[in-house]
C-alpha cells in the first residue's frame, strides 16, 4: 500500500514520521504518517496508517472561505474484503459493512414472494382457462384494465414525456375502460372490428377538440394503447371461447367429469390455449436459465440482459413443450404442425417481451408497476402473451385448415 497526497494552498508540516521510504512522497504500508496544519480558519489533520487514510477537518469559529483540494492515489488493497471500511464523521471513526445480513434477508424475502405469488398466479390462470366462458373473459377484462392503466402511466412518465406530449388523464382513463370492455364485446358479438373502430374514432375526436394545442404524439400513443392493451388480448377470447369444435382424440377429455362438461368441454380452443400458454412459460423459463448459464452475446440493445444463447435455449424448450403436449392432447395431429406452433409461440413471446421493454426503457423505469410483489406490474407478467394470442388464433383458424390439419 502506498499513498500520494497533494494539498493545495497549504504547506503541511510533518509532526511525526515513524518511517519513510526513499521517495519524499511515499511511505510503507505498516507505518504511520501524521500531518497537522493550523490556520485561523480551520484545523486540518491528515493521518495515514497502513491501508487506512483519514482526513480530519475541524472548523473554528471563523468562516471557511478557502477551497482545499485533496487527491489520494492508492494501490489496490490486499486486505480481506470481509474487513469493514472506516469513515470519518465529525472526527470519529465509524465502521461500515459492505454487505450486511439484512441485504441477504431482503433478497430471500423477495425470492419467497416471487415464488408464492408466481404459483398463485399460475393456479388462478390455469383455473380460468379451464373454466372458459364468462370466467375466462372477465378475468381477461380485469387484466386488460390493469394493464391499460399501467401503459398510460408509462406514457405519462417523465422519460417518455421528455420527447412528447401525453394524452390528457381523462382520455387515458376512458381508454382503459374501453380496453376492458373489448374482451366482453368479443365474447358477446364474436367480432369487435366495428366496435374498436368506433371507439378509436370517438377518442380521436376527443383529443382533437381538447383545449390547448392538440399534438400528434397524443393521438399516436392513445391509438397504440387501444391496439396494444385492448384489441390484441381479445384474440385469446376468440381462441379459447370461439373455437368450440370438440377435440375428439384428446384422452383427457374421455375421463373428464360429466358435471364439469364431460368430453365436450375439451374443445380445440381449450387445447390450443393450454399449449400456447405452456409454450410461453417454457420459452421464458428456458431462456432465463440458458442466459444465466451460457449467455454471452447480447440479443439486442433494448434489453441488454437477453442473450442469443438464452434465446436459442428458450426456442428449444418452447418447441419441445409444444411437441410433448401435442402428443398428450393428440392435437395437432402431426409433428410438423406442433413444431411450427412452438416456433410461432416463441417468436410472439419474444416480440411482446421486447416491445414492453422498449416502452419501459423510454419511460426510464425498471418495472411497469408494483401491483404484484416480487414480479412488478401486470404488463411485466403478460407482455409475452399480448402478441402471441393473435398469432396462435391465426395459426389454428387459418393456417391449419389450409393444410388439412
Q: Given a cut of 70, is residue 269 above it in pLDDT?
A: yes
292 φ/ψ angles, rounded to the nearest 5 degrees: -70, -35
Between 97 and 138, name the one with better pLDDT.
Answer: 138
Element (H, E) at 43: strand 42-49
Q: In sequence order, what DSSP letters do the residues of 47-58 get, joined into one string?
A: EEETTEEEEEEE
- Per-residue confidence (pLDDT) for residue 403, from 0 to 100: 60
Q: Exposed, middle or buried by CB within 10 Å (0-12, 13-18, 19+), for 339?
A: middle
Closest CA to 146 of 136, 154, 158: 154
264 φ/ψ angles, rounded to the nearest 5 degrees: -65, -20
Rounded CA gap, 126 and 146, in Å? 19
At 24, is the secondary structure helix, strand, or coil? coil
Q: Which three cell numbers stand for residue 215?
A: 399534438
Do 331 and 324 contact (CB within 8 A), yes or no?
Answer: no
At 303, is the secondary structure helix, strand, or coil? coil
- pLDDT category of residue 376 using cuts at 50, 70 and 90: confident
Q: Given a cut of 70, is residue 192 above it in pLDDT?
A: yes
Rounded CA gap, 379 and 210, in Å? 29
Between 31 and 398, name the one with better pLDDT.
Answer: 398
What integer is the mean pLDDT of 367-394? Answer: 89
Closest CA to 300 of 354, 346, 361: 354
Q: Given a cut of 60, is residue 195 above it in pLDDT?
A: yes
- Per-residue confidence (pLDDT) for residue 191, from 0 to 100: 82
404 C-beta neighbours (distance < 10 Å), count: 6
Whole-number percent of the chain with pLDDT over 70: 73
What integer is the mean pLDDT of 217-246? Answer: 93
- Per-residue confidence (pLDDT) for residue 212, from 0 to 100: 79
Q: Please enumerate in sequence order all residues whose Cβ is within 8 A of that of 223, keeping only pairs 6 or more positions apart, or say none.
A: 200, 203, 204
Q: Which three cell numbers stand for residue 285?
A: 423459463
- Per-residue confidence (pLDDT) for residue 101, from 0 to 100: 67
Rounded CA gap, 104 and 97, in Å? 13
Per the DSSP assignment, residues forming a β-bridge with 87 are: 94
- Per-residue confidence (pLDDT) for residue 323, from 0 to 100: 96
DSSP state of 17: E
How do beta strands 92-96 and 85-89 pair? Answer: antiparallel
Quote the Cα angle for 228-166-145, to 5°. 40
Q: Given a cut of 60, is residue 31 above it in pLDDT?
A: no
Do 322 and 331 contact (CB within 8 A), yes or no?
Answer: no
403 C-beta neighbours (distance < 10 Å), count: 11
Rounded CA gap, 355 and 385, in Å? 12
Q: Please enumerate in sequence order all residues whose Cβ is within 8 A of that of 12, keeping only pairs 6 or more positions apart, or say none.
A: 35, 36, 37, 44, 46
Do 252 and 262 contact (CB within 8 A), yes or no?
Answer: no
The CA dihedral of 369, 370, 373, 379, to the nearest 10 degrees, is -20
DSSP state of 30: T
For 120-151, what is each residue's pLDDT tens digit?
888 999 999 999 999 999 999 999 999 999 99
- pLDDT category of residue 319 using cuts at 50, 70 and 90: very high
Amino acid at each position: 500500500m502506498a499513498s500520494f497526497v497533494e494539498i493545495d494552498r497549504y504547506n503541511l508540516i510533518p509532526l511525526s514520521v515513524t518511517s519513510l521510504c526513499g521517495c519524499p512522497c511515499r511511505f510503507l504500508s505498516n507505518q504511520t504518517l501524521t500531518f497537522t496544519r493550523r490556520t485561523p480558519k480551520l484545523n486540518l489533520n491528515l493521518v495515514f496508517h497502513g491501508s487506512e487514510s483519514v482526513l480530519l477537518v475541524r472548523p473554528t469559529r471563523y468562516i471557511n472561505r478557502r477551497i482545499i483540494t485533496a487527491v489520494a492515489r492508492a494501490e489496490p488493497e490486499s486486505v480481506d474484503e470481509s474487513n469493514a471500511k472506516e469513515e470519518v464523521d465529525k472526527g470519529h471513526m465509524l465502521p461500515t459493512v459492505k454487505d450486511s445480513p439484512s441485504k441477504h434477508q431482503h433478497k430471500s424475502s423477495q425470492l419467497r414472494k416471487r415464488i408464492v405469488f408466481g404459483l398463485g398466479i399460475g393456479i388462478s390462470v390455469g383455473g380460468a382457462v379451464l373454466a372458459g366462458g364468462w370466467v375466462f373473459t372477465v378475468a381477461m377484462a380485469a387484466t386488460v384494465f390493469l394493464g391499460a392503466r399501467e401503459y398510460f402511466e408509462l406514457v405519462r412518465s417523465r422519460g417518455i414525456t421528455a420527447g412528447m406530449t401525453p394524452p390528457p388523464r381523462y382520455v387515458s382513463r376512458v381508454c382503459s375502460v374501453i380496453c376492458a370492455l373489448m374482451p366482453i364485446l368479443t365474447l358477446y358479438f364474436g367480432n369487435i372490428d366495428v366496435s374498436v373502430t368506433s371507439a378509436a374514432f370517438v377518442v380521436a375526436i376527443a383529443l382533437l377538440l381538447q383545449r390547448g394545442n392538440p399534438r400528434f404524439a397524443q393521438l399516436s400513443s392513445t391509438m397504440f394503447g387501444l391496439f396494444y392493451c385492448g384489441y390484441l388480448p381479445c384474440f385469446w377470447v376468440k381462441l379459447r371461447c370461439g373455437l368450440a369444435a370438440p377435440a375428439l382424440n384428446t384422452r383427457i377429455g374421455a375421463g373428464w367429469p360429466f358435471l364439469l362438461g364431460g368430453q365436450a368441454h375439451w374443445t380445440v380452443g381449450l387445447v390450443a390455449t393450454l399449449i400456447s400458454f405452456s409454450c410461453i412459460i417454457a420459452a421464458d423459463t428456458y431462456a432465463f436459465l440458458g442466459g444465466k448459464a451460457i449467455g454471452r452475446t447480447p440479443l439486442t440493445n433494448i434489453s441488454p440482459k437477453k442473450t442469443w444463447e438464452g434465446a436459442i435455449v428458450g426456442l428449444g424448450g418452447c418447441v419441445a413443450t409444444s411437441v410433448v403436449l401435442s402428443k398428450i392432447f393428440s392435437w395437432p395431429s402431426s409433428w410438423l404442425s406442433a413444431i411450427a406452433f412452438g416456433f410461432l409461440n416463441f417468436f410472439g413471446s419474444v416480440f411482446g417481451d421486447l416491445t414492453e421493454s422498449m416502452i419501459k426503457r423510454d419511460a426510464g423505469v425498471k418495472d411497469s408497476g408494483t401491483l404484484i410483489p416480487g414480479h412488478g406490474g401486470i404488463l411485466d407478467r403478460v407482455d409475452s402473451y399480448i402478441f402471441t394470442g393473435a398469432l396462435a388464433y391465426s395459426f389454428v383458424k387459418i393456417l391449419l385448415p389450409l393444410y388439412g390439419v
